[in-house]
Structure 1
Amino acid sequence: MKIDSINIIGREKVSQPIYRYVKPTDYYKDALGEVSPTEAAMINEVYTLEMKAGEYSSFYNTTSDVAGFVVEFSGKLVGFDISEINRAWDMLYRLSLPLGRSGVLMHTLSAINIMMYDIYSKYLGVPAYKIMGGATRKHIRAYASHLHPIDFKDLQDEAREYVSQGYKTMKMRFISGPSDINGIEKNIELVKAIREAVGYDIELAGDAWMSWNYNFALKMVKKLERYDIAWIEEPLMPDDFEAMKMLSWKTGIPISEGEHHYHIYDFKRLLDAGIRILQPDAVWTGGITPMKKITALAETYGAIVVPHTGNVYNLHVIGSEPESVTPVAEFLTKYREWMEQHMGGTPFPKNGYFTLSDKPGFGLEYKL
Structure 2
Amino acid sequence: MSATQTPVLSEENVSTGSRPSQLRITDLKIANLVGVPFRSSIIRLETNQGLVGYGEVRDGASAAYALMLKSRIVGENPCNLDKIFRKIKQFGFHGRQGGGVCGIEMALMDLAGKAYGVPAYALIGGQFRDKVRCYADTPSEQTASAMGQRLVGRRELGYTMLKMDIGINLLKDIPGTVIAHEGALADYDTMHPFTGIQVTQKGVETLAAYVAEVRSIVGYDIALAADHFGHIALDSCIRIGRALEPYTLAWIEDLIPWQFTDQWRQLTEAVAVPTCTGEDVYLTENFKPLLDAGAIRVVHPDPATSGGIAETKRLGDYAEDKGIAMALHMAASPIATMASVHLAAATHNFLALEHHAADVEFWNELVTGLPGPIIADGYIQVPETPGLGFEGINEELFAQHLDPKAPVLFEDTAFWDGEYANDRLWS
Specify whether residues 345 and 279 from structure 1 end up closer, same or farther in structure 2 by C-alpha distance, changes over 3 A only.
farther
1:138 deviation in Å?
A: 1.1
Q: Deviations over 1:14-66 (max 9, x none)?
A: 258xxxxxxxxxxxxxxxxxxxx95xxxx4xx433221122101133436864
Is 1:140 matched with 2:113? Answer: no
**Inter-CA distance 186–340: structure 2 relative to 1 (3 Å threshold):** farther
* Residues 227-268 of structure 1, C-alpha deviations (whole Å, 9 max, x = no match): 112210111122222210111111121100111111012210
Distance 1:64 1:257 in 2: 19
Which residue is 1:34 aligned to?
none
| Cα deviation 1:250-287 (Å, max 9, x = unaligned) | 11211001111110122101113321211111111121
Alignment match, 1:32: none
Aligned 8 A contact 2:313 2:346 in 1: no
Preserved contact between residue 8 and residue 47 of structure 1 (Cα < 8 Å)? no
CA positional deviation for 1:362 = 0.8
8 Å Cα contact 2:233/2:256 also seen in 1 = yes
Instruction: Choose the corresponding residue for 2:86, options 82, 87, 90.
Output: 90
Instruction: Look up the SS of the partner of 1:283 in the other structure.
Output: helix
Amino acid at match of 2:131: H
Counterpart residue identity of residue 125, structure 2: G
Matched with 1:75 is 71
Task: Give the superposition deviation at 1:337.
Answer: 8.2
1:328 to 317, 339, 352: 352
1:9/1:206 CA distance change after superposition, 3 Å? closer
Q: CA deviation at 1:214?
A: 0.3
Query: Are the structure 2 counterparts of residues 84 and 209 from structure 1 closer, same or farther at C-alpha, using a change threshold of 3 Å?
Result: farther
Query: Aligned equivalents of 1:225 and 1:288: distance in 2?
Result: 34
Larger Rg: 2
CA apart distance, 1:5: 2.8
Distance 1:61 1:243 in 2: 33
Any idea what SS the aligned residue of 1:163 has?
helix
Matched, 1:285 2:303: no
- Root-mean-square deviation (CA), in Å? 2.7
Cross-structure match for 1:3: 24
- Does 1:366 find its partner at 2:393? yes
SS of 1:284's equivalent in the other structure is helix
Matched letter for residue 56 of structure 1:
L
Could you tell me which residue of structure 1 aligns to residue 158 of structure 2?
166
1:199 aligned onto 2:219: yes
Cα distance change on mapping 1:358 and 1:73 into 2, 3 Å: same
Which of 20, 27, 46 in structure 2 is aligned with 1:52? 46
Aligned residues: 335
Which amino acid in the other structure matches residue 113 of structure 1? E
How far does residue 210 in structure 1 lie from its aligned partner after superposition? 6.2
Please report how far the alpha carbon of residue 321 of structure 1 lies from its aligned counterpart in structure 2 after TM superposition: 2.0
Cα gap change, 1:200/1:103 in structure 2, threshold over 3 Å: closer, same or farther? closer
The amino acid across from 2:136 in the alignment is A
- Summarize the alignment of residues 252-267 of structure 1 with structure 2, pairs less than 5 Å apart: 252-267=272-287
Report the Cα offset of residue 107 of structure 1: 1.4
Give, as a single letter, the amino acid of the residue that structure 2 aligns with 1:251: V
Q: Given the alignment of the two structures, is residue 101 of structure 1 paired with residue 93 of structure 2, yes or no?
A: yes
Does the Cα contact within 8 Å between 2:242 and 2:272 map onto a contact in 1? no
Q: How does 1:349-360 map to 2 (within 5 A)?
A: 349-360=375-386
Match of 2:233 in 1: 213
- Distance change (3 Å), C-alpha of 1:340 and 1:179: farther
Instruction: Give the aligned residue type for 2:212.
Output: K
In the alignment, is the contact (CA less than 8 A) between 2:121 and 2:343 conserved in 1? yes
Q: How far is the alpha carbon of 1:209 from its aligned partner?
A: 5.8
Deviations 1:172-209, CA, capped at 9 Å, x for gaps: 11131746655423322321121111222222211136
Q: SS of the residue aligned with 2:377?
A: coil
Question: How far apart, in 1, do the equivalents of 2:115 and 2:369 lie?
Answer: 18
- Whether 1:226 and 2:246 are equivalent positions in the alignment is yes
- Provide TM-score, normalisation by structure 2: 0.71
Identity in percent: 24
Q: Say which SS state the counterpart of residue 309 (structure 1) adopts.
A: coil
TM superposition score normalised by structure 1 = 0.82
Residues of 2 paired with 1:190 and 1:349: CA distance?
29
Task: Verify the 8 A CA contact 2:30 2:63 in the aligned structure 1.
Answer: no
Separation of aligned partners in 2, 1:11 and 1:144: 24
CA distance, structure 2, for counterparts of residue 188 and residue 308 of structure 1? 25
Task: Confirm or deny: 8 A CA contact 1:127 1:361 kept in the other structure.
Answer: yes
Kept after mapping to 2: 8 A contact 1:139/1:355: yes
Please tell me the residue identity of whatever aligns with 1:208.
Answer: H
Match of 1:244 in 2: 264
Q: CA deviation at 1:223?
A: 0.5
The answer to whether the 8 A contact 1:257-1:277 is kept is: yes
- 1:321 aligns to what SS in structure 2? coil
What SS class does the counterpart of residue 229 from structure 1 fall into? Answer: coil
- AA matched with 2:162: M
Instruction: Give CA deviations for 1:88-126 in whole Å, capped at 9, x if unaligned.
Output: 1112124x3xxx632344211101111110001011122
Distance in 2, matches of 1:64 and 1:295, equals: 25
How far has the Cα of 1:219 moved from its partner? 0.5
Q: Distance in 1 between matches of 2:51 and 2:293?
A: 43
3-state SS of the aligned residue for 2:73?
coil
